[in-house]
C-alpha cells in the first residue's frame, strides 16, 4: 500500500462515505392512487402543458428555481489535482450537502467525463433548463475562466465558479476586518497575491473592485507584468489591471518587501526571511491546504493578523461562508447573473457579522454561525435588485 493510501477499515471518513452522502427525497405524499394520479399521470400532464404554454410557471411548479448543478470535470480537485470525474464525486456530493445545510439550496452533483472546454460548455448549456443556477467546481485554470465566461454569456441563470469567487469573497471579508484592526485603508494598502490560478486571479480582481490600488500578483515566474511574454490571456489582462498605477515587477522577494498584506493561494512555501521583510503589523493569509504558504507559528512572528484555510487554526477562510448564501440570495431574487456588486455585498455582510467583536484571531464569522447564510442571502438579493438582474 502506498504511503498516501489509508485502509478503509482504519479511517472513519470511509465509514461516513459508505453509500454516499446524499439522497433524493419526495416532498409530496405517495400513499395511494389519488396521490399517484396527481404527482404523476394524469395530473402531471396538465402542469406540463401549462409550463409549455407559459415557461415562467417553471419557477412555481418545479424544484428548478431552488436547484443548482454542481459541475466538475475533475481536473483540479482539492489538493489532489487531475483525478477525473469519478474521483471528484465525493467532493461534489459534499458540496451539495453544504448547499443544503447552509443555504437550503438543492445541489445536484454533475461530473463530466470530458475535459474539453467546448464540450463542457455545450453540455452545461444543454442541461441548464433543469437548474436554477450553475456552480462550477474544481476545474483547472485557465480553462475555468473560459468556461465561466462563455456560460455567463449563453445562460440567463447565475453561473459561479466557487474556487474563484467564493474564496475571493471570504478573503475580502476577512481583509476588511484585518485592515480595520491595523488602521489601514484599502486605497493605501500594499497587497501581494502569491498565486495566479483561479483563486489568485479572483482575489486580485475583487480587491481591486474594493478599492485596493497597489497590488502585485505573483506566479512561479514572477510578478504579472505587461512586459512578460509567457502569460496566458487571463494573466496578461490581470497584469494590465494590477500594474496600471504602480508598475511593480520582478520577483516575490521584490514586491513582498514592505508589503502590508500577503494572500497566499499558490500552494508553495514562502521562506521566513522574505516574510520578515513585510511592513510592521502585517496581514498574512496563507490559504493553501493542508500546508499554508506560511505556517501560522512562522507568520505570527512577523504579522498581526494571520488566516489560513484550515479549520484547526483561527480565522479560517472557508468558502462555505460564501457560496450557500450567495446562491440563496441569487435564487430568491431570481437573478439572471451574479454580478460584481452581489459578490461585494456578500463580503460586506460577512465582515459586518464580525463587526465590533473583531480581533486578531476573529476576522471572519464561524461557518456554523446561523446568521451567516441568511445575512449573505439578504445582501446578495438586495444587490441583485440594485444591479438590475433581479426578476423577482
Decide if 69 contacts 124 (C-beta within 8 A).
yes
| DSSP category for residue 306 | E
Is residue 3's pLDDT more than 60?
no
Q: Is 137 annotated as a binding residue?
A: yes
With b for 16 or more beta-carbon neighbours within 10 A and e for fewer, the 312-332 pattern comes to ebbbbbbbbbbbbbbbbbbbb
Is residue 6's pLDDT more than 70?
no
pLDDT band at 245; cut points 50, 70, 90: confident
Secondary structure of 248-284 in HEC code, one letter for each residue = CCCCHHHHHCCCCEEEECCCCCCCHHHHCCCCCCEEE
Catalytic site residue from 21, 61, 95, 154:
95
Q: Give φ, ψ of 6 to 5 degrees.
A: -125, 135
Catalytic site residue from 40, 61, 100, 154:
40
Is residue 78's pLDDT more than 90?
no
pLDDT in tens, 171-219: 999 999 999 999 999 999 999 999 999 999 999 999 999 999 999 999 9
Once rounded to an integer, what is the mean pLDDT over residues 81-92?
A: 96
Once rounded to an integer, what is the mean pLDDT over residues 127-153?
A: 97
Decide if 263 contacts 193 (C-beta within 8 A).
yes
pLDDT in tens, 269-300: 999 999 999 999 999 999 998 899 999 999 99
Nearest to 367 by CA among 100, 97, 70, 102: 102
154 is catalytic: no
pLDDT in tens, 25-63: 999 999 999 999 999 999 999 999 999 999 999 999 999
How many whole angstroms separate alpha carbon 254 and alpha carbon 259? 10
Decide if 259 contacts 279 (C-beta within 8 A).
yes
Q: Is 319 annotated as a binding residue?
A: no
If one counts every other C-beta atom within 10 angstroms of the C-beta of residue 41, the result is 10
Nearest to 189 by CA among 216, 225, 226: 216
pLDDT of 268 reads: 86
100 is catalytic: no
Q: How confident is the prediction for the chain on average, in pLDDT? A: 95
pLDDT of 1 reads: 41
Share of the chain above pLDDT 90, in %: 93
Looking up cell 395530473 gives: 43
pLDDT in tens, 150-166: 999 999 999 999 999 99
Q: Is 352 annotated as a binding residue?
A: no
pLDDT of 249 reads: 93
Q: Is 289 annotated as a binding residue?
A: yes
Q: Is 163 annotated as a binding residue?
A: yes
If one counts every other C-beta atom within 10 angstroms of the C-beta of residue 385, the result is 13
pLDDT of 8 reads: 79
Q: Which helix (H) or strand (E) holds 321?
A: none
pLDDT band at 5; cut points 50, 70, 90: low
pLDDT of 281 reads: 98
Single pTM value for the model: 0.94
pLDDT of 4 reads: 55
- For the purposes of burial, counting CB atoms within 10 Å of the CB of 373, is it exposed (0-12), middle (13-18) or buried (19 or more)? buried
How many whole angstroms separate alpha carbon 66 and alpha carbon 89? 21
pLDDT band at 9; cut points 50, 70, 90: confident
pLDDT band at 247; cut points 50, 70, 90: confident
Beta strand 222-223 with 214-219 is antiparallel
Amino acid at each position: 500500500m502506498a504511503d498516501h493510501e489509508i485502509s478503509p477499515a482504519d479511517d472513519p471518513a470511509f465509514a461516513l462515505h459508505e453509500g454516499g452522502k446524499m439522497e433524493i427525497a419526495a416532498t409530496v405524499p405517495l400513499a395511494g392512487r389519488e396521490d399517484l394520479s396527481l404527482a404523476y399521470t394524469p395530473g402531471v400532464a396538465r402542469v406540463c402543458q401549462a409550463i409549455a404554454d407559459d415557461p415562467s410557471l417553471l419557477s412555481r411548479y418545479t424544484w428548478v428555481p431552488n436547484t443548482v448543478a454542481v459541475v466538475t470535470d475533475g481536473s483540479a480537485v482539492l489538493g489532489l489535482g487531475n483525478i477525473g470525474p469519478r474521483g471528484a464525486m465525493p467532493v461534489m456530493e459534499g458540496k451539495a450537502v453544504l448547499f443544503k445545510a447552509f443555504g437550503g439550496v438543492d445541489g445536484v452533483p454533475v461530473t463530466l467525463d470530458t475535459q474539453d472546454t467546448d464540450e463542457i460548455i455545450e453540455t452545461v448549456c444543454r442541461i441548464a433548463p433543469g437548474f436554477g443556477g450553475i456552480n462550477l467546481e474544481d476545474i483547472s485554470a485557465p480553462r475555468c475562466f473560459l468556461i465561466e465566461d462563455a456560460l455567463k454569456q449563453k445562460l440567463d441563470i447565475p453561473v459561479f465558479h466557487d474556487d474563484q469567487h467564493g474564496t475571493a469573497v471570504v478573503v475580502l471579508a476577512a481583509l476588511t476586518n484585518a485592515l480595520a484592526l491595523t488602521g489601514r485603508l484599502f486605497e493605501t494598502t500594499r497587497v501581494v497575491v502569491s498565486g495566479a490560478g483561479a483563486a489568485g486571479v479572483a482575489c486580485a480582481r475583487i480587491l481591486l473592485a474594493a478599492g485596493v490600488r497597489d497590488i502585485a500578483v505573483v506566479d512561479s515566474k514572477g510578478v504579472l507584468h505587461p512586459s512578460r511574454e509567457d502569460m496566458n490571456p487571463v494573466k496578461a489582462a490581470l497584469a494590465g489591471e494590477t500594474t496600471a498605477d504602480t508598475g511593480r515587477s520582478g520577483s516575490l522577494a521584490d514586491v513582498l518587501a514592505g508589503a502590508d498584506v500577503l494572500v497566499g493561494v499558490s500552494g508553495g512555501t514562502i521562506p521566513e526571511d522574505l516574510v520578515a521583510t513585510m511592513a510592521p503589523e502585517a496581514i498574512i493569509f496563507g490559504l493553501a491546504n493542508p500546508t499554508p504558504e506560511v505556517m501560522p507559528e512562522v507568520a505570527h512572528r512577523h504579522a498581526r493578523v494571520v488566516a489560513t484555510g484550515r479549520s484547526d487554526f483561527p480565522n479560517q477562510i472557508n468558502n462555505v461562508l460564501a457560496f450557500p448564501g450567495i446562491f440563496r440570495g441569487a435564487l430568491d431574487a431570481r437573478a439572471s447573473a451574479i454580478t460584481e456588486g452581489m459578490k461585494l455585498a456578500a463580503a460586506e455582510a460577512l465582515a459586518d457579522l464580525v463587526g465590533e467583536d473583531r480581533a486578531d484571531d476573529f476576522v471572519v464569522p464561524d461557518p456554523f454561525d446561523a446568521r451567516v447564510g441568511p445575512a449573505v442571502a439578504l445582501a446578495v438579493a438586495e444587490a441583485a435588485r440594485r444591479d438590475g438582474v433581479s426578476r423577482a
